[in-house]
Amino acid sequence: QPLQILLSNRNTTIEHIFQLTQASIDIYKYLASNYSKKILDYNEKLSNLIDTKFILVKEYETCLVSIEKPKTSQLIDIDDENKEIHQRFTIFATIGDICRENQIDIDHQNLLYSEDFVASIETQLICFSSISPIRFTLINGNLPITVIIVNMEDQQSIKFYCSLTITVKRLSFIACQLFGLNRNYYRLMQVDCLLDDEEVSLDDIDSTMSQFQFQLISTASKNSSVRYGDQTVVLPCSNETLAATIIKETLQKLHVPQENCHIYELMALADDRTAIESDMSIDDAYELFPARPTTIPFELIKNTE
Dihedral angle computed from the Cα positions of residues 18, 24, 29 and 31, in that order, rounded to the nearest 10 degrees: -30
**Could you tell me which of 232, 148, 216 has the C-alpha nearest to residue 183?**
216
The pLDDT-based confidence of 276 (bands split at 50, 70, 90) is: very high
215 in Cβ contact with 189 (< 8 Å)? yes
**Could you tell me which of 202, 217, 192, 108 has the C-alpha nearest to residue 146?**
202
227 in Cβ contact with 297 (< 8 Å)? yes
Q: How is 54-123 classified by DSSP, letter by letter?
A: EEEE-GGGEEEEEEE--TT--SS-SSTT-SEEEEEEETT-BHHHHHHHTT--TTTEEEEETTTBEE-TT-
The pLDDT-based confidence of 9 (bands split at 50, 70, 90) is: confident
- pLDDT for position 10: 83
The pair phi, psi for residue 20, each rounded to 5°, is -70, -20
**Could you tell me which of 26, 4, 2 has the C-alpha nearest to residue 17?**
4
Largest pairwise CA distance in the chain:
68
Domain 222-302 = CATH 3.10.20.90: yes
The pLDDT-based confidence of 257 (bands split at 50, 70, 90) is: confident
- pLDDT for position 130: 81
- pLDDT for position 262: 86
Q: Which residues contact 276 (CB under 8 A, 6 or more apart)?
A: 243, 265, 266, 267, 268, 284, 285, 298
Secondary-structure percent of the chain, ordered helix, strand, coil, rounded to 5? 20, 35, 45
CA–CA dist 140, 41 (Å, integer): 30
Domain 14-140 = CATH 3.10.20.90: yes
Entry pTM: 0.89
CA–CA dist 20, 238 (Å, integer): 50
- Cβ–Cβ contacts within 10 Å for residue 59, how many? 10
112-136: string of b/e by CB count within 10 Å (b at 16+)?
A: bbeeebbbbbebbbbbbbeeebbbb
Domain 145-218 = CATH 3.10.20.90: yes
Domain coordinates in residue numbering, the chain: 14-140, 145-218, 222-302
SS3 label, residue 156: coil
The mean of the pLDDT values for the chain is 92
CA–CA dist 249, 181 (Å, integer): 9
The pLDDT-based confidence of 131 (bands split at 50, 70, 90) is: confident
Report, as an integer, the average pLDDT of 244-257: 92
CA–CA dist 178, 162 (Å, integer): 14
